[in-house]
């Protein structure tokens, strides 16, 4: 009696012998296919990030960045705002920035309302923020803070994850960071009774300031 293995091999041989050309099935739902829409990288990132409940604020220069960031903090009445951002530090050297601290220890991390960081790059196709442990922000800060503000230059935008990986390889080879993080909008889960809940595994609100 043939074993199951023998039967499977026989079926394969017969299928190869019949000479029928087999084609790969393709999805019939066109919504499953990525559409390369018109627009530049900035417009693409803005569209995708807004679609996943993120917020994007575009700035022409450091002065506008300082003004819009200060306005956002005041409008939301945020009190404990901590920045670990080289871009914002450079901005502060040229403008007036108020109510933003640059120092926080592990004991006081739970009291931080808003954290401001840089990023490695922004992915336009998926609205994704790429971060790594090579940044001064470290591992813990972006996860514990309830509201996360990312500041990036337009030149940090890439088209897709393939380009993002290429950027990281060129930047860090051969001494790669121990961790790379892909952040696509506020943290969310639908595991609890199939109800979408924000802020479970990370920030409940995310803002990206894109500096021209």
Would you list the domain boundaries of the chain?
39-211
Task: Give this prediction's pTM.
Answer: 0.79
Dist. CA 34–CA 28, nearest whole Å? 13
pLDDT digits (tens, 9 = 90+) for 120-148: 999 999 999 999 999 988 788 888 899 99
Residue 175 pLDDT > 50? yes
Distance CA 145, CA 54 (A): 15
Q: What is the mean pLDDT of the chain?
A: 85
Residue 164's pLDDT band (cuts 50, 70, 90): very high
CATH number of the structural domain 39-211: 3.40.50.10420
Identify the DSSP state of 73: H
Residue 123 tokens, joined: 């992915």
DSSP structure class, residue 77: T
Query: Could you tell me which of 185, 179, 189, 177 has the C-alpha nearest to residue 205?
Result: 185
Contacting residues for 42 by C-beta, under 8 A, at least 6 apart: 58, 124, 154, 157, 210
pLDDT in the model for residue 56? 98
How sure is the predictor about 200, in pLDDT bands with cuts at 50, 70 and 90? Answer: low
3-state secondary structure of 183: strand
pLDDT of amino acid 28: 55
- At 33 the pLDDT is 46
């Amino acid at each position: 009696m043939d074993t199951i293995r023998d039967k499977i091999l026989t079926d394969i041989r017969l299928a190869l012998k019949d000479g029928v050309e087999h084609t790969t099935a393709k999805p019939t739902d066109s919504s499953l296919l990525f559409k390369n829409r018109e627009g530049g990288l900035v417009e693409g990132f803005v569209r995708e990030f807004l679609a996943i409940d993120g917020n994007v604020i575009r700035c022409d220069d450091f002065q506008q960045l300082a003004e819009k960031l200060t306005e956002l903090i005041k409008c939301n009445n945020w009190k404990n705002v901590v920045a670990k951002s080289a871009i914002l530090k450079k901005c502060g050297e040229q403008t007036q920035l108020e109510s933003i601290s640059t120092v926080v220890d592990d004991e006081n991390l739970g009291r931080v309302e808003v954290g401001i960081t840089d990023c490695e790059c922004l992915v336009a196709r998926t609205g994704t923020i790429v971060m790594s442990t090579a940044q001064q922000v470290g591992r813990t800060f972006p996860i514990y803070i309830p509201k996360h503000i990312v500041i990036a230059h337009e030149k940090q935008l890439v088209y897709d994850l393939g380009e993002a990986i290429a950027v990281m390889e060129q930047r860090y080879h051969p001494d790669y960071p121990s961790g790379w993080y892909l952040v696509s909008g506020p943290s969310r889960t639908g595991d609890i009774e199939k109800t979408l809940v924000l802020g479970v595994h990370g920030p409940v609100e995310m803002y990206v300031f894109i500096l021209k």
